[in-house]
Amino acid sequence: MTGEGQLTERDIAEIVQDLSKSGWTGLLHLERSGRKIGITVEEGKLVFASSSNPDHRLGPLLLRREAITRRQMEDAGRALVPGKRFGTILVEGGFLEPKELVKGVIDQTRDIILHAFGWDHGTYRLEEGGAQGESITLNISSPQLILEGLSRVEAWSRIEKGCGDLDARWAVQDGVDRVLRGLPLSPEQLALLGTIDGTRDLEALCAQSPLSDFEVCRTLWAFRVIGLARRLDAAATLDDDGLEYVMPAEGDESA
């Protein structure tokens, strides 16, 4: 895939899925309106993230969950020196247990990545190669992160582009059992997946699901990105969405 580009042309969820499918290793750099996010990818998995946004720092996260006090956060910040991390200072000062630090860093990484899925514009750049090893890393599959990240997207322009028109028919992808393994779908999401048979269009899927129409559209978009389902519409539309790897059903002349 292209080493750099615009998020308006290639959605962040599609970038992550491509990196996952190819088992890519390196750094994914994102930038928007002066804000920067760096995501470490190891063999297709998103394992660490950093952000220039001060609200994404570890201190405020620990303060919100009442793991540290404001005084402890301020004192640890003043004690920062090159080569020593904020969390290490908290542990060494007896303000935080090591297991609390591990949980805090994992949650911080996850929160930054999920925040990135909300970006609908900006730039991305891929820096291939081994990244600096981190002692605390995230252990969540990319499809699970994509599913959770897209479940927070409210921008209808992105959702509509992914789910298609009301008359777009949907089919289950080959190898769906492999993708489903370890993926925490809700009963409603599983029921929606079960109604996808290649004959029902989007309008029928909305009518049969207990989910709202908005949620059905958003979920189908996520299903499409992670490889659970595919849209049986014009191939040109798929190319415009940046999902060239989605192949039409055998014998389907509409794709």
Query: Given this model, what pLDDT does residue 83 score?
Result: 86
Average pLDDT over residues 163-179: 93
DSSP string, 63-114: HHTTSS-HHHHHHHHHT--TT--HHHHHHHTTSS-HHHHHHHHHHHHHHHHH
CB 244 within 8 A of CB 225: no
Residue 240 pLDDT more than 90?
A: no
Residue 244 pLDDT more than 60?
A: no
- Report which of 106, 164, 100 is spatially closest to residue 134, judged by C-alpha positions: 106
Residue 245 pLDDT more than 80?
A: no
> What is the percent of the chain where pLDDT is above 90?
83
Query: Given this model, what pLDDT does residue 1 score?
Result: 55
- Min mean pLDDT across 49-53, 95-99, 130-134 is at 130-134
Q: What band does 182 get if pLDDT is binned at 50, 70 and 90?
A: confident
Average pLDDT over residues 202-226: 97
Average pLDDT over residues 55-72: 96
**C-alpha pair distances (Å), 45 with each of 123, 138, 192:** 20, 9, 27
**Cα 16 from Cα 24, distance rounded (Å):** 10
Mean pLDDT, the chain, rounded, equals 89
- If DSSP codes are grouped into helix, strand and coil, which group holds residue 2? coil
Phi and psi at 102, nearest 5°, equal: -60, -50
Average pLDDT over residues 24-44: 96
Instruction: Kindly compute the dihedral angle of the four CA atoms of residues 160, 28, 227, 209, in this order, to the nearest 10 degrees.
Output: -40
DSSP string, 150-209: HTT---HHHHHHHH--TT-EEEEPTTHHHHHTT----HHHHHHHHH--SS-BHHHHHHH-
**Cα 248 from Cα 232, distance rounded (Å):** 6
pLDDT in tens, 76-93: 999 999 888 999 999 999
**Cα 160 from Cα 146, distance rounded (Å):** 17
